[in-house]
Amino acid sequence: MDDRSRMGWAIVAGAAIGGFLGFLFLTDRGRRLRSELESQVDDLASGVGKLQDLASQVRDTAQTGWQRVQHLTSQVARDASAPFESGAGNRPN
C-alpha cells in the first residue's frame, strides 16, 4: 500500500469517526444512545468486578485445598513408614 492509499484510508476513517462522535454528542438520538451505553457499560463493569471477586475466592479455596492434600499425603507417608523405622515389630520370623 502506498502513501496515497494510506492517506485516503486515514481520511475516510477520520471522517467516519468524526461523524459518529458528532452523532453521539450533537443529536438527541445520539445522547439517548450514549446514555443507554453508559448504563450498560456500568453494568458490565460491575459484573466484571464480581467475576474477579469470584475468581479470587476460587483461587484461595483451591490453594487451601491443595495445602490440605499435601499435608495429608505427607502424614500418610509418615504413618506408613513409621512401623519400619523402629527396627522391630512386624517383621516375619
pLDDT one-digit tens code per residue, 64-92: 999 999 999 999 888 887 766 555 555 55
Would residue 93 count as lying in a domain? no
Would residue 62 count as lying in a domain? yes
Q: How many domains does the chain have?
A: 1
Would residue 87 count as lying in a domain? no
Would residue 9 count as lying in a domain? yes
Q: 50 vs 16, 37, 42, 47, 57, CA distance in Å? A: 36, 20, 12, 5, 11
Q: Say which residue the cell 471477586 belongs to.
A: 53
Would residue 49 count as lying in a domain? yes
Would residue 89 count as lying in a domain? no
Would residue 56 count as lying in a domain? yes
Task: Check whether 93 has a pLDDT greater than 70.
Answer: no
Q: Which domain holds residue 39?
A: 3-81
Q: Structure pTM?
A: 0.48
